[in-house]
A and B are shown apart, each in its own frame.
Chain A
Amino acid sequence: MLFKKKDKQNEIENKEAPQSYWAYVKRQFRKNKRALYSLYIILFLAVIAIFADFISNDKPLVCKYEGNTYFPVFREYGVKTGIMKWNEKLVNAEWYDLDYDWAVWTPIPYKNTTIDYKNAPFIGPFEKQDIKSARWRHLLGTNKLGNDVMACMIHGTRIAFLVGIVSMGIAFIIGIFFGAVAGFFGDDQLKLSRARVILNILAFPLAVFYFGVFFNSSIWLAVIAFIAVFILANLLGKVLEFVPFIKEKMNVPIDLVITRFIEIVVSVPVLILVLSVVAVFPPSIFLVMGVIGLVRWTGIARFIRAELLRVRSLEYVEAAYALGYPRWRILLKHAIPNALAPVFIAVAFGIAAAILIESFLSFLGFGIPIELNTWGQLLTQSRQAPEAWWLAIFPGFAIFITVTLFNLIGEGLTDAIDPRLKQ
């Protein structure tokens, strides 16, 4: 009963005051036309990235073959996730050569991995192409092996977005955690019993150990084990707080520790680190994303720390304290949501940087599996064949546009959140 009432009260309050912080930021952002259109274009590119398989594929979307109707593109998803199986006739089908009753192909009837021997090497978009009809034209030409450049561009969008968003997702989690702890507790607010301080310090090597033990079987298990060790250490600490000496509270200057840590991470030269890690381990996008995420969280942590240092002394936080809410609840439900907006500045710029790093690595030929034909890899191929101008212009332009748009969004957010800078 009590809770319901409170919810209703919240609702009423919200209705009366639509002037929430987020609404304000949104309004400010909308005023910046350049940033707004950038956002729209990015959303459009994101749609391309998500539906890349439906826009460019080496299988038909729908086809009728020997009297049965198939949906090969959808089925491929099912096969990949292990729910479905290919029809026996189609297991090793040469999709281009099947004798269909009718077939609806994707707008670009090639994939980034499809090799068209007849149109290789380096057939330009306006040159004569060896194709059945105009429908099968390679709109942006082909590369050395005969991959369709347009298809590579579309699937490259997906890889670029994946790297940008996943790596920033990792960075977001790490950054929010460290930044929030540093900013909310500051140097004087975190008081822990001696037992818990010692146990947490001891837990760190132990957590690393269990991370290592489980790493070979599954990375998720390793992460869970890592966190679980800390949780167990703190539970044990809570239990030990009945013992007289070690239950004494001591002040932990957590802000100092974390800011020093951030300074160390910032001083790591990202490109060189990513390059050396990627050179040692076998190529994988996930490794690239992980490394970028592990290095690029500092901006996010700094933003949220600065914001929380301001927010934690505001009235509503004090009010929450006065109401007797536990601290984690104030942090999670009141402080962080109101400090999150500036973080998206760092995220927008971070995605731009991550995409740039990914194309940089592809360009050099490190880290990204070579058969993916990402934007950077296409660009690199153009160096072998200077006459293939389409390999130099289109992928480079795609990198440039995506990076610029994310930067513009970041700028727009900066202006929207910090009106002081605007005028």
Chain B
Amino acid sequence: MLGVYAPGDPVINLMTVTSGGENMDDKKAGEDAYIKMWKKLNMDLPVFYFSISSQAECDTLYKIHRKAHRETLGALTTEFGNWNEIDKYYKGLQTFEDKVLGFVPDSASTKTWGRLRDNIGNLYNKKEPKSIENTLSKLDGYVNKINDTLNVLAPALVKLQGQYNDILSNKSTWKKYVPSFNWYGFKNRYHNWITRFAQFDFGISYQDRKPIAKKIGDNIFWTMLISIISIILTYIFAVPLGVFSAIKKGTTADSLTTTFLFILYSLPNFWIATLLIIFLCNPEYLDWFPAFGIGTAEAEGKSMLASLGIRIHHLILPLFCWTYGSLAFLSRQMRGGMLGILRQDYIRTARAKGLPENKVIWKHAFRNSLLPVITIFANIFPLMISGSVIIEVIFTIPGMGRMLVDAMVAQDFPVVFTIVMMVAVLTMIGYLIADILYAFVDPRITYNSKK
């Protein structure tokens, strides 16, 4: 969906040969290369299974391969609403261009011929009637100046002007407001893309023309590593902290932890990361940690242990920034869940029958309070990738998040869409895992019968 609105022409982005040479052959070759790439990218197919357009629009506009031309024609159809005439005009323009390019000017009129050719090129991008008329009259002037013995150009131009006037005289603006439904079937770009996505064929990046799957493979390691460590750390610290403050409810220790966790939870991690970099990784203040990267260069050639040390040294700050937010969030949830459980009747019963407090809390209360914590797991999973964006950018870690931002800056949309889609899939997997864990932890929950 977003692919349609993405700025830039994907074909040109991927092309190595620049089109539009000096003479007819070069232009033809460039055009052919363009069409080849265009077909290779499946751009000659409709976007989706169906489309809803107005009667005025052409339902097979996608078959015109130049994006700029498509835009011009689209703009003209919304303006005048008569596709037939506009199509004729477009074809007339093309034949006129062919004739001009095929024309061999004598030495006196080469310059004018060059101007004429450039102006025809411009005409493809003109969307407003006024500028089209201007250009047409300019063309008229050039054609008259050229020494045209065989008299090929003038009639073609007259024909073109006639076609343009047809557009003006046969306006049907009302058609714009009448919807029409077009069915394209399975031969469409979305279908191709999604089936390829399912086969892990993500396409090619505009930036370096590497396959996206390979790029992701290179980048996913650090994101995964840091996320997994971070998830483990979160659960290790958050669960006991939440339980602790729930048990000690009302004491100073509890209110201190609660306030501390609340502040931690509200601190935006990009602020903390910036502050840490400025004050802890800067010779001007404290130079304790390296500010950037993951220490690949430093770790090269060192022994296992030494390079591990360097890596850890590099990862401490990112890990901290990555973890503290979810840690605070999780322990607050844990506290809330635990408090709710401790109020239940069966806890009172357990206490009444003389069970030691330890057993009451860990065996009866704790197990039951795990339920909400598990649901959060589903949320944490995809959050890891989006959370990684900012931390990876700040600490310049070569992971998925930074790859996403770099791709956005470079307008490398295949990469962007692949990552977005992957996050969506991961989210669904997260929810699935949470559902399964849920049933596992709470035997009352089943998914196979209704009520």
Contacts and interface: CB of A to CB of B under 8 A. Distances in A.
Partners in one complex: yes
Interface of A: 205-206, 208-210, 213, 216, 267-273, 275-277, 279-281, 352, 356, 359-360, 363-364, 366, 376, 379, 382-383, 386-387, 389, 392-393, 396-397, 399-400, 403-404, 407, 423
A276 B275 contact: no
Contact of B263 (A268, A277, A404): A404
Contacts of B262: 404, 407
A412 to B, nearest CB: 12
Given A275-B408, A382-B278, A364 B263 contact: no
A290 to B, nearest CB: 14
A386 B52 CA distance: 53
A280 B7 contact: yes
Nearest to A411: B262
A221 B2 CA distance: 23
B274 A399 contact: no
B408 A281 contact: no
A208 B270 contact: no
B266 A386 contact: no
14 contacts: A209-B54, A210-B177, A267-B431, A276-B416, A277-B2, A279-B411, A281-B5, A352-B266, A363-B390, A364-B390, A379-B270, A386-B284, A389-B278, A393-B275
B151 to A, nearest CB: 43
Contacts of A404: 262-263, 266
B2 A364 contact: no
B292 to A, nearest CB: 11
A276 to B, nearest CB: 5
Interface of B is mostly: helix
Contacts of A352: 266
Nearest to B274: A392
Interface of B: 2, 5-7, 52-54, 78, 176-177, 179, 181, 262-263, 265-268, 270-271, 274-275, 277-279, 282, 284, 343, 382-383, 385-386, 389-390, 393-394, 404-405, 408, 411, 413, 416-417, 419-420, 423-424, 427-428, 431
B52 A268 contact: no
A379 B267 CA distance: 14
Contacts of A271: 386, 389
Contacts of A392: 271, 274-275, 278
B389 A275 contact: yes
Contact of B423 (A272, A279, A366, A379): A272
Contacts of A364: 389-390, 393, 405
B268 A403 contact: yes
B390 A273 contact: no
Contacts of B393: 364
Contacts of A269: 382-383, 385-386, 423-424, 427
A396 B271 contact: yes
A17 B141 CA distance: 87
Query: At the interface, is chain A mostly helix, strand, loop or mixed?
Result: helix
A366 B408 contact: yes
A-B pairs, 6 with minimum CB distance? A396-B271, A279-B408, A404-B266, A271-B386, A209-B179, A386-B278
Contacts of A216: 78
B52 A208 contact: yes
Contacts of B386: 269-272, 275
A407 B266 contact: yes
B266 A396 contact: no
Given A213-B177, A277-B2, A400-B267, A386 B54 contact: no
A280 B278 contact: no
A376 B390 CA distance: 12
Contacts of A268: 424, 427
B394 A279 contact: no
B278 A363 contact: no
Given A277-B2, A280-B7, A364-B393, 19 more contacts: A205-B179, A208-B52, A209-B53, A210-B179, A267-B427, A267-B428, A269-B385, A271-B389, A272-B385, A272-B404, A279-B411, A376-B270, A379-B274, A386-B282, A386-B284, A393-B275, A396-B275, A400-B267, A407-B266
A350 to B, nearest CB: 15
Nearest to B2: A280
A52 B127 CA distance: 42
A259 B94 CA distance: 54
A273 B420 contact: yes
Contacts of A423: 343
A400 B266 contact: yes
A66 B408 CA distance: 53
A396 B274 CA distance: 9
A272 B2 CA distance: 13
A379 to B, nearest CB: 6
A403 B5 contact: no
A73 B354 CA distance: 75
Nearest to A405: B266
